[in-house]
């Protein structure tokens, strides 16, 4: 399992918060029709599946095979499962929120 730590500011864009899957992970599985991807909340709730891009759960606003966009910064898990090869890859995204006291 890979863990990616980032600040919310690092992934914030004009369209929302963008979570990107590393190319090295996608290159191993993208052309394999036996592999499926899913995005989950930290507590295990399915919020997006790139094979069904029109069925998104809040706070997701967009999904594709290499990224997910949310309306606010959250902790997420991305999973790729390939049944035939028994390959399973998990990536945990952990956003650090930084606050300053005035």
Output the six-digit token pair for 17. 């918060």
Band of the pLDDT at 60, cuts 50, 70, 90?
very high
Residues in contact with 81: Cβ distance below 8 Å, sequence separation at least 6, in sequence order: 35, 36, 38, 87, 88
pTM for this predicted structure: 0.85
State which fold the 2-96 domain adopts: Immunoglobulin-like (2.60.40)
Q: Which residues pair with 90 in a beta bridge?
A: 79
Q: Where are the domains of the chain?
A: 2-96
φ, ψ (nearest 5 deg) of residue 43: -90, 10
Q: What is the pLDDT of residues 22-58, one digit of tens each?
A: 888 887 776 777 889 999 999 999 999 999 999 999 9
């Amino acid at each position: 399992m890979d863990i990616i730590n980032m600040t919310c500011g690092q992934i914030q864009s004009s369209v929302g918060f963008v979570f990107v899957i590393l190319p090295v992970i996608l290159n191993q599985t993208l052309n394999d029709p036996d592999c499926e991807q899913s995005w989950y909340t930290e507590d295990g709730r399915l919020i997006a599946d790139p094979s069904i891009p029109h069925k998104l759960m809040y706070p997701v606003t967009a999904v594709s095979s290499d990224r997910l966009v949310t309306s606010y910064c959250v902790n997420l898990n991305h999973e790729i499962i390939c049944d035939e090869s028994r390959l399973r890859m998990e990536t945990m995204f952990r956003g650090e929120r930084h606050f300053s006291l005035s």
